[in-house]
Amino acid sequence: MGQKVIATARNIDRIRDIEQAGAAVMTVDVTWSPEKLKEVATSAIGTYGRVDYLINNAGYPCQGAIEEVSHQETYDVFSTNVFGVLNVTRSFLPHFRERRSGGIVIISSISSRQYFPGITIYSATKAAVSMIGEGLKDEVEALGIKVLTVDLGVFKTSAFKRDTNLKKAAQVIPDYKPINDRYDEIREILMGNEPNDPKLGVLRIIEVITQSGMAAGRVVPVRIPLGK
């Protein structure tokens, strides 16, 4: 579609394939300090002279019942999934305001609307960023900045693979084994059987935020579900 892309990851080796496809890549941890993330924004803007769209996609789940997930584990999940979105977005907003244009995409999840056993803390973070997206849209729309929150369904990515960044609570309480077993069962069923194509999902997100393709001539909505 002709976009120039800056891809980021904590471990840049995980996105070398994107670099080989022509994208610029940067090592970024969204839990860095707000000051360091502002430096990241400045560097990203300098790469191509401007940034038109920011996509907030960092996040991970921590499996466990509420009592099992410790304060620190809860804080760590919120630090990445919520505070990371806030601080990265704040870092780019001055650039978008100055230009009176731009778009921000917040990747949320179907779990922000629907309960899934064993990942309540993760679901809470996604509910939080979905509401942040709704509020942000109202705040900046008059400034020419578009905001889209996407509640993703289950896509064929590494999310359900055993070797991914799924974390489990260090504390295990036997009383909650049935809850965790239910999540494990869902995960096993979905592993390798994810119904949605991530490439098509990305295309739809790009079309909506840029108001092109299937979304040409349409208003950017506050929030959309995407995929089953």
Q: Which residues are catalytic?
A: 108, 122, 126
What DSSP letter does each residue of 175-207 carry, written as one string? Answer: GGHHHHHHHHHHHHHHTT---B-HHHHHHHHHH
Give how far the C-alpha of residue 10 lies from the chain's centroid of Cα atoms, to the nearest Å: 14
User: Which two structure tokens, joined as six digits, stand for 64?
Assistant: 């466990």
CA distance linking residue 215 with residue 220, whole number of Å: 8
CA distance linking residue 109 with residue 106, whole number of Å: 10
DSSP annotation of 69: S
Q: 179 to each of 76, 117, 122, 212, how far by Cα in Å?
A: 22, 6, 15, 43
CA distance linking residue 154 with residue 159, whole number of Å: 9
Q: In 3-state terms, what secondary structure has residue 89?
A: helix
Q: In 3-state terms, what secondary structure has residue 106?
A: strand
Main-chain phi, psi angles of 214, to 5 degrees:
-65, -20
